[in-house]
Chains A and B, each alone.
Chain A
Amino acid sequence: DSGVTQTPKHLITATGQRVTLRCSPRSGDLSVYWYQQSLDQGLQFLIQYYNGEERAKGNILERFSAQQFPDLHSELNLSSLELGDSALYFCASSPPGGSTDTQYFGPGTRLTVL
């Protein structure tokens, strides 16, 4: 158990809908990263937040957005869902300070868009 929690574990929805995925980082970690894992694209970095502020952006679609709240939990919002958005979504957290290399991954949310 990494200490990172994600809810829900599974999500099934229809095209065009909007969903919210939630992540709670490990106690004391300030950084949250979101990743998408699909069979054809592998593990793709989406976005990073550090202590409430966006720090880095990767291959995140405009239909997707995220935020990190004062209690440091983070939410990833996916809207106008398409079949191709079906994937595993992971969040990871890393500790503050100089060594922000190590990322601890949550168990993921499996999103199925029908």
Chain B
Amino acid sequence: GENVEQHPSTLSVQEGDSAVIKCTYSDSASNYFPWYKQELGKGPQLIIDIRSNVGEKKDQRIAVTLNKTAKHFSLHITETQPEDSAVYFCAARIGSGGSYIPTFGRGTSLIVHP
């Protein structure tokens, strides 16, 4: 089955700095890579996603890059703000028989210091 490794487990930055979280996946058939943000006491919320036919996607201060050859993808947050502090999860998904079950990374706790 799919295996997703996520690094780092904790990331501490100063407000205004950039933050980068990296994930690698094992199954080359994976074709969809979402990123979720989970704030304390809440469920994961999709913040950006990328499909395997695209190398990069950007949405304001958030961007995701995908390297299919190396089987890794990254989340980039620029101009970080204290409200960006949360746990971020990457996931990789293989579509199979109408099911689209993602495998999640273990999460990165991002702390943005004002």
A, B co-complexed: yes
A50 contacts the other chain (Cβ, under 8 Å)?
yes
A45, A48, A105: the one contacting B45 at CB < 8 Å is A105
A100 proximity list for chain B (CB < 8 A): 98, 100
A107 contacts the other chain (Cβ, under 8 Å)?
yes
Known: A42-B106, A56-B101. A102 touches B44 (CB 8 A): no
Size of interface on A: residues with Cβ below 8 Å to B: 24
Closest residue of chain B to A102, judged by CB?
A: B46
Instruction: Report how far A102 CA is from B109 CA in the complex, Å.
Output: 22
B107 proximity list for chain A (CB < 8 A): 42-43
A103-B43 in contact (CB<8A): no
- Least CB distance from B103 to A in Å reads 8
A43-B101 in contact (CB<8A): no
A55 proximity list for chain B (CB < 8 A): 98-99
B44-A94 in contact (CB<8A): no
* B residues with CB within 8 A of A: 32, 34, 36, 41-46, 49, 89, 93, 96-107
Q: A56-B97, A102-B46 are in contact. List 11 more A-B contacts (CB 8 A).
A: A2-B45, A4-B43, A42-B105, A42-B106, A45-B102, A45-B103, A48-B99, A101-B49, A101-B100, A102-B49, A108-B42
